[in-house]
Amino acid sequence: MAAHPPQPRPRSADRGAPDSAARPPRRGQPRRGRAPLVVAAAVNTLWAVLVSYLPVAAVTWLIRLAEGESSVPGAAQVGLAAWLLGHGVPLETPTGPLGLPPLMLSVLAAWRIYRAGVHTTRAIGARRGGSAGQALLVAIAVGIAYGGIGAVAAVATDSTATAADPTRAALGTGVFGALAALFGAARTTGTLDRLSLRCPAPLRNGIQAGLVATLLVLAAGAAAAGLSVAIGGGDAADTIGVYRAGVAGQAGITVLSMAYAPNATVWAAAYLLGPGFALGADTAVRTSEVTLGSLPAVPLFAGLPNGPAGGLSAALLALPVLAAMTTGWVLNRRWQPAVGTGQVGWFALLGAAAISGPIAGLLLGMAAAASSGPLGAGRLAEIGPVPWQVAAAAGAVVTVAAVAGAAAARSVAAPTTDRTG
């Protein structure tokens, strides 16, 4: 009898892997290596809260130590109040409402919640190819966990010195956490990339250019604020010395000033754009006038201008225009290969540059709103710029300057591309 040749065994995609590994999991059986959404969101949110809260508690303890109070529970309670303030939750104090958020803390908290959204998305197995629905579920889960922690923090801060409404704290921190986590989850699942590809090219590039213009205008504000503080460095040092709080206390005051440095950046950008800002009722810090009253002894206030802009200050007013023109130039350079081959015309290029103006105005108006708030019920109840004025001025400046920059860059580059192409 003839021997039949042996039949080849079917090979799996992974040689040597057991047959059970190639079979999909049964219905109702969770896949290995994937955590439940609720558990992943709770763990990552709690870690984000600890990372953003512990530095605040340490700085608070340093400041209280300089005042002769070394109580750790007291510092922890005040640190929770400051943590809530960084999320835009107003505090009630004996002197009135306190609602001026330290934006450095806000940025730190937003970054950590963004990372919580990223890690939660990875934990449930939706890292790439995940749906927009999965990203939304992650954002909702993280937002609920974050809002719950915010409500607990509001209850824990209730004392004779500070108090916060638990309902408002839950809503404020919940929305804050959901938005930051949604951005992280959408980036991780690839939802943002898919939405970007579906947008028309002028709109997509206009939004990107608006974001670039916003960052450049804020960079101009940071440069102006830093230069002002450096010029008034002697006054800033004298202000710190007034406290006579020792090394630990002076370190805490310095770190506290750094926490409000982004606020000063936004205020300086509003000053350069024209609307300026207020440091109390019936006050104004603008290029055309400076009207101030008595101010707290804060090192950041040492760099305030003494009068209308002139000399070097007048030259700084050109920084937002240069930033917007740079945005238009970069936009043209981004499209340079396509422009040279005729794929993108003048209308599309200038249209994208024009779109960047309203985008930058919206973002800078939101930054102005986030950087403002009261410092009590008295004269310092109005601190910061007026958001709609900043949005309108930024939108107008960026639109005109970005279009001019893009047109100039296209005019200069077009003859070269025509000769080479």
Give the tokens for residue 87: 């999320």
Question: Over pLDDT 90: what percentage of the chain?
Answer: 49
Length of the chain as a residue count:
421
Q: How far apart are CA 74 and CA 76, in angstroms?
A: 5
**Token pair for residue 3?**
């021997």
Euclidean distance between CA atoms 264 and 153, whole angstroms: 27
- pLDDT tens-place string over residues 111-130: 999 999 999 999 998 877 77
pLDDT, position 91: 93
- Euclidean distance between CA atoms 147 and 156, whole angstroms: 14
Residue 363, number of CB atoms within 10 A of its CB = 19
Token pair in block for residue 117: 């959204």
- Tokens representing 396 are 């107008």
Q: Are 182 and 113 in contact (CB under 8 A)?
A: no
Residue type, 397: V
pLDDT(104) > 60: yes
How far apart CA 408 and CA 411 sit, in angstroms, is 5
What is the per-residue pLDDT across 30-44, written as a single tens digit (0 to 9) for each?
A: 444 588 999 999 999
What six digits make up the tokens of 327?
A: 């945005």
Output the 3-class SS for 218-268.
Answer: HHHHHHHHHHHHHHCHHHHHHHHHHCCCHHHHHHHHHHHHHHCHHHHHHHH
- Please tell me which residue, 104 or 14, carries the higher pLDDT value: 104
Reported as a single tens digit per residue, the pLDDT across 316-350 is 888 999 999 999 999 888 776 554 455 567 888 89
